[in-house]
Each structure stands twice: as C-alpha cells, then as structure tokens.
Amino acid sequence: MNLASRLLHSLSTLALALAMLTGCSTPGDSSATRGLPAPTGLEEWVASEATRLGAREFPVTRLQTEGDLDRDGRPDSVWVYRLDGSGSLESFHQFLAIQLSSDPRRIRSLLVGKSRGRSISEVRVVEGKVELHAQEYLPTDQSCCPTGHTTLRAGLRSGQLELLTP
C-alpha cells in the first residue's frame, strides 16, 4: 500500500470513528443549539457526573438551547449531554440538564437516552416544556445508527424535572 492509500484509509477510519462517537449525526443535526456558552456550574456538573459513572464526555455531542421553563420571563439553560464508556467502550448515556435563572445553583438532570435505546438529536423549548427529538433503536439496527424516530417532552412538576411522555 503506498503512502497516499494509507493516508486515505486512515482518514476514512477516523471519519467512521467520529460518526460512531456522535451517534451518526450529520452536520445539520441541531447545529443551532450547539453554540451557546456553558452556564456557570454546568461544566462542573457534567464533569462530576462523568467521574461518578466512570465515563467520558465529548463536548461536540452536546445539544443546548434556552427557554423559559419556570414562567418567570427569563431564559433558562437547557442541555443534553452525552457520557460515553460507562459500562463498556461502546455504551453511552444521554442526560437532559436544566439550570433555571431563578435557581442557578441547582442543576436538575434526567436520563433521556442510552445506547441501544434512544439517541437525542435535537432539543428545544416549546411553551415552557423541553421537547426532545430522538432516534430510537429498532431490534435490527446496528449500534451506531438508530432508524426509529420519536418526540419526548419534559418539564417541571413541583420543581422536579420529569418526562411528560414515555
């Protein structure tokens, strides 16, 4: 194999690995939600959760938006972050985390996706609720690429973050 062929093979392998790490996302997936700065405390929260679960976070897989979840007229921070490697090399867990502007010291978090289950591809706030667009794994899907689709909603009940739809 000549040098050009080896280089092309290495680049192809790297591209495939990156696609697997990001859950087969495409450049258009949720790109508008990836550019907001990290709210104070959320970086530390994600790092502590990664340590607790023995996992690693790849920031490129984060989804982020803002919206008024507690109806106080101010935007609240909403994140979906993914922790890879908890349990096995190919496993991941995705969490929805919110930080209310009225209670910025408290991060509320909820498991919303996991390998061979559901993979969140978009997050937005609609009428005071978090709307999560997800790809779901069907029995015949490969571990990198779910083919089913669903929408979940989450919101606050008595100050607790909860899924409103299964």
Rounded to an integer, the average pLDDT of 130-155 is 89
* pTM (whole model) above 0.85: no
Going by their DSSP bridges, the two strands 118-126 and 129-136 should be labelled as: antiparallel
- Distance of alpha carbon 112 from alpha carbon 160, whole angstroms: 15
Task: Return the minimum-mean-pLDDT range out of 5-9, 16-20, 61-65, 123-127.
Answer: 16-20
103 — phi, psi (to 5°)? -150, 65
Residue 53 has a pLDDT of 86
- Distance of alpha carbon 91 from alpha carbon 94, whole angstroms: 10
More confident residue, 12 or 123: 123
Q: Which residues contact 79 (CB under 8 A, 6 or more apart)?
A: 42, 46, 62, 63, 64, 96, 97, 98, 123
Rounded to an integer, the average pLDDT of 139-154 is 87
Rounded to an integer, the average pLDDT of 131-145 is 87
Residue 25 has a pLDDT of 34
87 — phi, psi (to 5°)? 100, -50
DSSP readout, 83-143?
Answer: EE-SSSTT-EEEEEEEEETTEEEEEEEEEEEETTTEEEEEEEEETTEEEEEEEE--TT--T
Question: What DSSP designation does 64 have?
Answer: E
Rounded to an integer, the average pLDDT of 117-132 is 94
Q: Would you say residue 45 has pLDDT above 90?
A: no
Band (pLDDT 50/70/90 cuts) for residue 125 is: very high
Q: What is the tens place of the pLDDT at every residue in 87-116?
A: 666 788 999 999 999 988 889 999 999 887
- Distance of alpha carbon 93 from alpha carbon 87, whole angstroms: 10
Q: Would you say residue 14 has pLDDT above 90?
A: no
Band (pLDDT 50/70/90 cuts) for residue 159 is: confident
Residue 165 has a pLDDT of 67
Which residue is listed with tokens 């571990």? 143
Neighbours of 128 (CB within 10 A): 13
Residue 8 has a pLDDT of 38
